Structure 1
């Protein structure tokens, strides 16, 4: 029997599509489309498991059921009803339209879209199974739908709770950065496990923990569960076991790294340590209560990767010039280092006293942020080990 290939949709933060695309290609899957905020790729049941467990930068994995054009609610009803729901949802499956979003489309009321599509799905399922009642007592099949320029794209959510919930962050600080976003930002830098990484505003520890997980080759989803583990008619249990085994076999948490996280607040540092413990990387990170004014490191060619306080409240905004002046001073004192800063503050370069080599716009939810990249020199290549001299030559 030929393996069934699905179209899988992976949403991500706007501006980070290229990072996610590379991750999917590295997993070995073919990309069919890249659009704003999402990457679509082709894969079988095993791909659903592996994408959920291994991808660091997507929010969830959606299984596309179909798409059609609809400018009226009648067209929406008929279009939804024409999809082969019985091939995806078992007779006792519990299904509902969990989320509907609409951009530049005639139909825009989420609650109307949701209730009309649910009715159409029930009609189709009754017809498909030849029954008069759909019990909805079985596994969950939440549907997500997006309307863009009147094209309706309908998909099942295989993930459940968003993938940024890795299962390690029990304690959060104010305005934490999402794990998926932190991972994508680290991937945008040339950092690798042989280089130093310091986050002087580490908060609940997300940047250091994500970096340590990358260094140890830990799949981000290996300590959590997924909604579609119960979809036995689409994904055999064996696929989940094999993908989890693959994830566990790849881990090497004995690698030596220099990853550090500082914060001014002792409670926050305590929380970051607890999170790192849960993630299984506490032994790889040095957390310390330390103000940014005391930021220093004896070695060269390190990386600052950080998400400083945004100053969302007006009184905090007043402190930002002094804060960035301080970051700039400490950065200058770090010989040959690079700095990568995500913030919504637009005057970073002015107060750091240096123009960024690159600046990238990234949407963190609805907030426009900037990823300022101050690049230091590359470290010299290590000289290859000298070959032993021939013994018969004169020493």
Structure 2
């Protein structure tokens, strides 16, 4: 098998960023849909995309897509697909599913039928009369039906791509690493510019900035479910890992600071940075927003401050926004990018954003307020 159709799934609002990351890896044939980026590539794209995509949720392989209105149809059309090309006779293949606005709305029934159809196909192709042991590697199948069109995929990532493997501690509402990377990608920050997150929490944004700054593949320190799939092959994975090692620019000097009002969070952030292999690359400080006094020009503030959603927090959080606005007013060459669900942010901050972008932080509807600095 030389070529595959891959789907990089994305949180709502991040599709265009994921598409540009896919193109940056050299894959041109890209289609963007709601929540996903679809592209054709050879098999080597599976390890490369898992290792390099910073803002995607996971990488899936498209096995088949067809219209379906009856369970019989679902069984026959699923069975007709080349499952044996992907799943060996000892492969473990659980089936998950979802159905939206479709005739076949019972997800457990759809899952059971897909499972049965794949079992039949594998037994027939691998020449097995009894049951399949499923004692080998994991090949998670998803059946997703939208408006009577069924899409069958294999998950090539395993744990979601946001699980980089460095988070050993976190706060109450941690920002997903994939969203943190996207927030940085939405700025035009360059690694030779100062970078500050004044609300760093467990350190996700500064850590992702350091990974971007030194061009370190975000998936370099973790495992993926497709690593041992025989039809991809160990050599293809080895080559992708070698490429990631060669492209990392460990000599790139960085000026990245993460600060937080809570000293406990600063300690957690430090530990996470060490786990990420970034040791001394990021400076960590306990600090309030109004203590912001940078010594350099043309820097970037990127932050995901508390939103003040809990009763009792609102006044304190709104004061924090005012303090940050006043502090940044003294540094017109600095650009600021702030993610919050507070609809009065611009008023509190003291000026209108240059640009605003709607994003979802989990299930919370937020705006990404972008203030462009004046270059000095």
TM range (shorter): over 0.9
Q: Which residue of 2 aligns with 1:275?
A: 272
Secondary structure at the aligned position of 1:283 is classed as coil
Q: Which runs of 4+ in 1 moved over 6 A?
A: none
> Contact 2:307/2:341 (CA < 8 Å) preserved in 1?
yes
Q: In 2, distance between residues paired with 1:264 and 1:108?
A: 48
Q: In 1, distance between residues paired with 2:313 and 2:29?
A: 44
For residues 95-110 of structure 1, the aligned pairs below 5 Å read 95-97=93-95, 99-110=96-107
Which segment drifts farther, 248-257 or 18-27?
248-257
Q: Which residue of 1 aligns with 2:225?
A: 227
* 5+ residue gaps, structure 1: 380-395
Q: In 2, distance between residues paired with 1:334 and 1:13?
A: 33
Q: Which residue of 2 aligns with 1:287?
A: 284
Query: Closer, same or farther in 2 for the Cα pair 1:116/1:346, shift >3 Å?
Result: same
Q: Which residue of 2 aligns with 1:240?
A: 237
1:111, CA displacement in angstroms?
A: 2.0
For residues 188-267 of structure 1, the aligned pairs below 5 Å read 188-232=186-230, 234-267=231-264
Q: Which residue of 1 aligns with 2:309?
A: 312
Q: In 1, distance between residues paired with 2:308 and 2:318?
A: 11
Secondary structure at the aligned position of 1:301 is classed as coil
Q: 2:117 aligns with which of 101, 120, 135?
A: 120
Q: Which residue of 2 aligns with 1:322?
A: 319
Q: In 1, distance between residues paired with 2:239 and 2:109?
A: 41
> Contact 2:215/2:248 (CA < 8 Å) preserved in 1?
yes
> Contact 1:5/1:43 (CA < 8 Å) preserved in 2?
yes
> Contact 1:6/1:42 (CA < 8 Å) preserved in 2?
yes
Q: Which residue of 2 aligns with 1:6?
A: 4
> Contact 1:21/1:31 (CA < 8 Å) preserved in 2?
no
Q: In 2, distance between residues paired with 1:176 and 1:65?
A: 34
Q: In 1, distance between residues paired with 2:374 and 2:101?
A: 45
Q: Which residue of 1 aligns with 2:29?
A: 31
Question: 1:201-222 CA deviation, whole Å, 9 max, x = no partner?
Answer: 0011111111111111111111
* 5+ residue gaps, structure 2: none
> Contact 1:253/1:281 (CA < 8 Å) preserved in 2?
no
Highest Rg: 1 or 2?
1
1:132, CA displacement in angstroms?
A: 2.0
1:51, CA displacement in angstroms?
A: 0.7
Q: Which residue of 2 aligns with 1:182?
A: 180
1:335, CA displacement in angstroms?
A: 3.1
Q: 2:293 aligns with which of 274, 291, 296?
A: 296
Question: 1:222-275 CA deviation, whole Å, 9 max, x = no partner?
Answer: 11111111111x211001111111111222222212110101111111110111
Q: In 2, distance between residues paired with 1:32 and 1:321?
A: 42
CA RMSD of superposed structures (Å): 1.4
Q: In 2, distance between residues paired with 1:110 and 1:168?
A: 35
> Contact 1:49/1:240 (CA < 8 Å) preserved in 2?
yes
Q: In 1, distance between residues paired with 2:214 and 2:79?
A: 47
Q: In 2, distance between residues paired with 1:108 and 1:324?
A: 46
Q: In 1, distance between residues paired with 2:53 and 2:44?
A: 14
> Contact 2:308/2:318 (CA < 8 Å) preserved in 1?
no
Query: Closer, same or farther in 2 for the Cα pair 1:227/1:238, shift >3 Å?
Result: same
Q: 2:129 aligns with which of 120, 132, 148?
A: 132
Q: In 2, distance between residues paired with 1:299 and 1:104?
A: 54
How many residue pairs match? The answer is 375
Q: In 2, distance between residues paired with 1:343 and 1:74?
A: 48
Q: In 1, distance between residues paired with 2:189 and 2:237?
A: 31
Q: Which residue of 1 aligns with 2:65?
A: 67
Q: In 2, distance between residues paired with 1:359 and 1:11?
A: 23
> Contact 1:31/1:39 (CA < 8 Å) preserved in 2?
no
